[in-house]
Chain A
Amino acid sequence: KQEVTQIPAALSVPEGENLVLNCSFTDSAIYNLQWFRQDPGKGLTSLLLIQSSQREQTSGRLNASLDKSSGRSTLYIAASQPGDSATYLCAPYTGFQKLVFGTGTRLLVSP
C-alpha cells in the first residue's frame, strides 16, 4: 500500500525566503506526481504535474523535482510571499488515475 509522507508538517518563515518542501513515497512504481495547494476550507489548486518520464517541472517561482527510484519529490518555492500561505499536498499517481495524497505541509509566510 502506497504511503506518502511530507516533511516538514508545518513551516513558518518570513517573506522572501526560498523554501523546500519534501515528499516521500514508499512504492516507487508510480506514474505521474502532482503537487497541489489547499487554502483553509477550500478545494485543491493544481500547482505542478511531473509526468513519469520527467524529472522536474517549473512554473513561475515553483519548481518540482521527482526521483522515482528513491521515492522522493521536492517542491521549491522561491522568494516566498504571504500569498503562498496554504497547505501543500503531494500526490503520486498509483494505478489508473488514482491519487494517494500526502499528509501535507502547512506553510505560513509572514510579511
Chain B
Amino acid sequence: GAVVSQHPSWVICKSGTSVKIECRSLDFQATTMFWYRQFPKQSLMLMATSNEGSKATYEQGVEKDKFLINHASLTLSTLTVTSAHPEDSSFYICSAPRTRRPEQFFGPGTRLTVL
C-alpha cells in the first residue's frame, strides 16, 4: 500500500491566493522529504529538499519566498505556493526516503490549477 500521501490531490485557485499542499509519510518517519514539480509533457524537476527542524534547501532557480516549505514533524512536510499565478499551475509531487531502504517513495501528486 501507499507509504506517502499527499493532500489535496487537486486544487483550483484564483490568481494571487496561496495554496498549501501536504505530504505525509504514513508508517515511517522521514527527516528529509523532497518536492518535485512537473509541467505538462515534461519530466519531474526537483524543487527543494525539506529538512525536519531546519530550513529547506532550494534548487537553483526556485524562489524560496514563493514556495514556502515547512517540515514541522517527522511525518509531515508542507509546500505553500504563495501568491499563485497561472504559470505556477503544475503537478507537484513529494517523496521521502525510508530508513534502511535505498529507494525513494513518492506521493500520488497534487494537480494545481491557477486561474
What residues of chain A have their CB less than 8 Å away from a CB belonging to chain B? 32, 34, 36, 41-44, 46, 49, 51, 89, 96-104
Contact A43 B106 (CB under 8 A): yes
Question: Measured between alpha carbons, how far is A28 from B78 in the docked complex, in Å?
Answer: 33
Contact A43 B108 (CB under 8 A): yes
Question: Measured between alpha carbons, how far is A51 from B101 in the docked complex, in Å?
Answer: 11
Question: Measured between alpha carbons, how far is A15 from B102 in the docked complex, in Å?
Answer: 33
Residues in B with CB closer than 8 Å to A100 are 46
Quick one: closest B residue to A94, CB to CB? B46
Question: Measured between alpha carbons, how far is A44 from B91 in the docked complex, in Å?
Answer: 12
Contact A51 B109 (CB under 8 A): no
Contact code string B12-47 (vs A, CB < 8 Å = 1, else 0): 000000000000000000001010100000011110
Pairs A–B under 8 Å by Cβ, sample size 9: A41-B111, A46-B103, A46-B106, A49-B102, A51-B102, A97-B32, A99-B44, A99-B46, A103-B43
Which among A46, A49, A97, A100 has the greatest number of chain B C-beta atoms within 10 A? A97
Size range of the interface on B? 20 to 34
Residues in B with CB closer than 8 Å to A97 are 32, 34, 97, 104
Question: Which among B44, B91, B102, B107 is the interface contact of A32 at CB below 8 angstroms?
Answer: B102
Question: Measured between alpha carbons, how far is A88 from B111 in the docked complex, in Å?
Answer: 20
Shortest CB-to-CB span from A89 to chain B, Å, is 7
Question: Which among A32, A34, A44, A98 is the interface contact of B34 at CB below 8 angstroms?
Answer: A98
Is B49 interfacial (CB 8 A cutoff)?
yes
**14 more CB-based (< 8 A) A-B contacts, given A42-B108, A43-B108, A98-B46:** A32-B102, A34-B103, A43-B106, A43-B107, A43-B109, A46-B103, A46-B106, A96-B32, A97-B34, A97-B104, A98-B34, A98-B49, A101-B43, A102-B43
Residues in B with CB closer than 8 Å to A34 are 103-104
